[in-house]
Structure 1
Amino acid sequence: MSNVSDSRLDRAMGALIGGALGDALGMPTQLLSPQEIRDAYGPVAGFLAPSADHPVSKGLPAGMITDDTEQTLLLAEQLLEGEERFDHHAWVARLLAWEAKVKARGSYDLLGPSTKRAIDLIRAGTPAEEAGRQGTTNGAAMRIAPIGIVMPVDPLDSLVATVAETCAATHATIVAISAAAAVAAAVSAAIDGADWSEAAGRGVEAARAARHVGAWTAAPDIAARITWARDLVAGRSEVDAIAAIVDLVGTSVASQESVPAAFAVVVAAQGDPWRAAVIAANLGGDTDTIGAIAATMAGAAAGLARLPSDRVQALRGIDIADVGRQADGLLELRRAAEAGRC
């Protein structure tokens, strides 16, 4: 039996299951424009099956998770099975095995561009330590929640270093590492009881601490972008906040758009995880990933008990009991990390 507190476990589950809710809700709307979403579905307020002609999600059932959640749980399993230090080569092997399964079931189009490119390079013989040096998109940020559950937010340098290790094979650039560090720190702070706004502040600090970690690419500073995006929507009506996110922040797979957008979505939703998922699903662009990140951070602050239980039960492709086992194990690793600092 775990020694972790019930409140921490509730928040860890809130992060993992919240992310799955945002992922599944945005699955049928990803890659579509806001107008295309309205034309195909009307305002999205619950799980829907994708349209028959959807470019990547066609054929999936309503409430189905995608690679966002699958990679998150894959990283969780790697952390639980690894040694004291992150086993980079075992993680690469796990990613390659997972990618083969994704291809076998016909879902390869769901993978993000940086992950696809890196895996193709590794299979072609590029060393795993070099494959991610062009990865600038949001794939690392979307799956990083297990690091936020395992790692205390302080010292920030330790959290950032661990984030960077998990990014090396696919997203080893400053912009991607900074984005992932921001999400991990927000989750970590929430695990310890920070509310959604306080947690976001720690996320900005982590992005700032990571601004020289990784390969340089021509991308803006993530900490500055998150701060700007949050300030942009603060105090606005939800309708005006959504318009600002779409028109000014951006909703593409680029880390500098989608991750600040996710932080802004949490502000627009006032920290409500389900509302954050709903807002993200209607934005257009990379809706499933923005929803997954936003609802992960909001879910970590709110906890599983505040997620809509009927929606949780309607999720497809995820074993809630197994996620509970992972959350429990990740928190045991956190306890050990905290004990090692004393």
Structure 2
Amino acid sequence: MVSIPPLIERFQGALLCGATGDALGWPTEFLLPERSRQFPFQLPHQIFVNWKKRVGGRWWGYEDEILPGEYSDDTQLTLAVARCINEEGRFEPERFAYKELPLWLQYERGGGRTVKTAARKLLAKRADWLNNFYRQGDLDYRQAGANGAAMRNLPIALVNVHDKQALIRDSFYNAIITHGHPRAILGTILFGLAVHCALTLTAPPPPPHFIECILDGLRQVPKVIQSDERLQRWINTWNRGLLNKELNFAQLYRSTLQEAVQYLKQIPAFLSREPKDYYTLVGALEPATKSSGIATVCVAIYLFLRYLQHPQQGLIVAVNTFGSDTDTIALFLGSLLGAFHGLQAIPPALLDQVQDRHFLLTIARRLHAVAAASFTPPPPTEEASDRRAFYFSILSWEMAFHEMFHQEYQDGNTLIHPALGLGAIQSQEEQPLRRDGYVARLIRVQFKCGQTCVFHSRVKGHESPSESLAGEVARALQEREE
């Protein structure tokens, strides 16, 4: 008989077990089956390890040492989204787009090209969170269908445990800040709905019942879109950029929804088969589709239902299925298992080692308190953006950022970050680069709030650090005044 913990413990379990999955799956993210013997830790991988990640190419690259239990950009952005949920339980897309996301570029670890490009483009003259239709090289906003939005959506799912339509609306908002393809948007909503269903279970569900709970939520998406003026405006903008023979948003959404529904409905038939069979069905082992917003979430739902009674085994399968997006799938799975089992989903030996464990628990308690007070929230309104204020806060931080990377701070010195507050420098590292005159500096900061960040930048002499936002923010402020 499974003991169902109180809701607050399920909030804590979702956040902490999600971060555990992220930290456990990150080292195996780029491990291919044919190269598994070359990896510097024992397989099957089931404990936190110390490892090094190569960042950048031949002339610009350096090594980032990842300590046991440290999480990736998946959890970093989850925490950033959590800070953008106000006391009424509403997600504030302006705060995320104009403050959290640009600042994240300076401490991101493992961030994908799509999200980093979107973050930079939000500082451009004509871009805003409802109009970030970027094109850069092979990246196209309308074709961005990966899981970079879904992976950060857990706080929105938690805080809206009592309001499924608000969950759908805010998940949609969250996704379109960085991703424009329905595959990313539906994946974000799908993960949110799966967490919602896991949170509200009172007993282990028959798989078809759990899938029907998710499908019931998906049926409400059109109503949410039709009732939201901002989403209607975004869809109109999306459609205006089409070429003659391309599908409009509604057509592409319908075909993508059919894909998601098909994958979900086939889960029961695969529960007695090898997990790789389901991975193969949804394309989660193909390089071109392994990070699909829909495929990765569906795999996590499949693993959740298959290993609901054996959560640790499920997590080990997720992080050892090489060739898949191991850290993000494990984050999705850990979140779902934690939302059902609470902190009991994962052994204490792992939970106790997760980076910023106490901070994650604090965030979970806050989201639970907000959710408990938000049974009947007021209808959403389009408030005036504080974009200028967010930009000025970034500019004020840039002075400390420059001084930090020009070695004017010592270990133990304190600084104030616009999003994270008061912090103290723990350690500083410098690595020479092959590009003439440049070094990479990595500066670890422990913030009083409980989060730890490694800020990084390439620097040459007294030039501006490569990750400085000062020039872009100053231009954005000037352009908005013209």
TM-score bracket for the superposition, by shorter chain length: 0.7 to 0.9
Indicate the larger mover: 178-187 or 64-73. 178-187
CA positional deviation for 1:161: 1.0
What runs of 5+ residues in structure 1 fail to find an aligned partner?
none
TM-score w.r.t. the length of structure 2 is: 0.60
Output the CA distance in 2 between the equivalents of 1:57 and 1:177. Answer: 33
Output the CA distance in 2 between the equivalents of 1:18 and 1:326. Answer: 13
Partner of 2:307: 269
Q: Output one character per residue of 1:155-198: Cα deviation in whole Å (capped at 9) or x when no partner.
A: x4332112112223112432222211121122223333344655
Partner of 1:245: 278
Q: Provide closer, same or farther for how the CA distance between residues 150 and 22 of structure 1 changes in structure 2, counting only shifts above 3 A.
A: same
TM-score w.r.t. the length of structure 1 is: 0.83
CA positional deviation for 1:38: 5.2
Question: Which of 90, 95, 108 does residue 90 from structure 1 map onto?
Answer: 95
CA positional deviation for 1:64: 1.3
Contact 1:11 1:302 in 2 (8 A): yes
Q: Provide closer, same or farther for how the CA distance between residues 225 and 26 of structure 1 changes in structure 2, counting only shifts above 3 A.
A: farther
Q: Provide closer, same or farther for how the CA distance between residues 190 and 260 of structure 1 changes in structure 2, counting only shifts above 3 A.
A: closer
CA positional deviation for 1:39: 4.4
One-letter amino acid of the counterpart of residue 152, structure 1: V
Question: Which of 65, 83, 97 does residue 59 from structure 1 map onto?
Answer: 65
Q: Output one character per residue of 1:91-149: Cα deviation in whole Å (capped at 9) or x when no partner.
A: 1123334323226xxx3xx1123312311321333222122643311012111111111
Contact 2:88 2:374 in 1 (8 A): no
Contact 2:14 2:336 in 1 (8 A): yes
Q: Output one character per residue of 1:244-292: Cα deviation in whole Å (capped at 9) or x when no partner.
A: 1343223211113211121122233235443232111111221100110
Output the CA distance in 2 between the equivalents of 1:52 and 1:67. Answer: 13
What runs of 5+ residues in structure 2 fail to find an aligned partner?
57-61, 134-140, 226-234, 239-248, 285-289, 379-482
Say if 2:79 is the partner of 1:73. yes
Q: Provide closer, same or farther for how the CA distance between residues 314 and 167 of structure 1 changes in structure 2, counting only shifts above 3 A.
A: same
One-letter amino acid of the counterpart of residue 158, structure 2: I
CA positional deviation for 1:225: 4.2
Partner of 1:102: 107
State, as a whole percentage, how many aligned pairs show the same letter.
23
Q: Provide closer, same or farther for how the CA distance between residues 335 and 114 of structure 1 changes in structure 2, counting only shifts above 3 A.
A: same
| 3-state secondary structure, aligned to 2:365 | helix
Partner of 2:342: 303
Q: Provide closer, same or farther for how the CA distance between residues 328 and 336 of structure 1 changes in structure 2, counting only shifts above 3 A.
A: same
Partner of 2:401: none
Output the CA distance in 1 between the equivalents of 2:312 and 2:6. Answer: 19
Alignment of 1:192-271 (within 5 A): 192-194=200-202, 195=204, 197=207, 199-210=210-221, 216=249, 217=252, 220-221=256-257, 223-228=260-265, 230-236=267-273, 240-241=274-275, 243-251=276-284, 252-270=290-308
Contact 1:27 1:288 in 2 (8 A): yes
Question: Which of 310, 314, 326 does residue 287 from structure 1 map onto?
Answer: 326
Q: Provide closer, same or farther for how the CA distance between residues 246 and 83 of structure 1 changes in structure 2, counting only shifts above 3 A.
A: closer
Question: Which of 159, 180, 185 does residue 167 from structure 2 map onto?
Answer: 159
Output the CA distance in 1 between the equivalents of 2:280 and 2:175. Answer: 29
Partner of 1:24: 23
Say if 2:177 is the partner of 1:169. yes
Output the CA distance in 1 between the equivalents of 2:71 and 2:198. Answer: 24
CA positional deviation for 1:310: 0.9
One-letter amino acid of the counterpart of residue 287, structure 1: T
CA positional deviation for 1:232: 4.4
Question: Which of 198, 201, 208 does residue 190 from structure 1 map onto?
Answer: 198
Partner of 1:148: 157
- Bigger Rg, structure 1 or 2: 2
Output the CA distance in 2 between the equivalents of 1:168 and 1:210. Answer: 15
Say if 2:119 is the partner of 1:119. yes
Aligned pair count reads 324
CA positional deviation for 1:304: 1.0
Q: Provide closer, same or farther for how the CA distance between residues 329 and 51 of structure 1 changes in structure 2, counting only shifts above 3 A.
A: closer
Q: Provide closer, same or farther for how the CA distance between residues 145 and 59 of structure 1 changes in structure 2, counting only shifts above 3 A.
A: same
Q: Larger relative contact order (C-alpha < 8 A, sep ≥ 6)? A: 1
Higher strand share: 2
Q: CA RMSD in A?
A: 3.0
Contact 1:160 1:181 in 2 (8 A): yes
Contact 1:205 1:223 in 2 (8 A): no
Higher helix share: 1
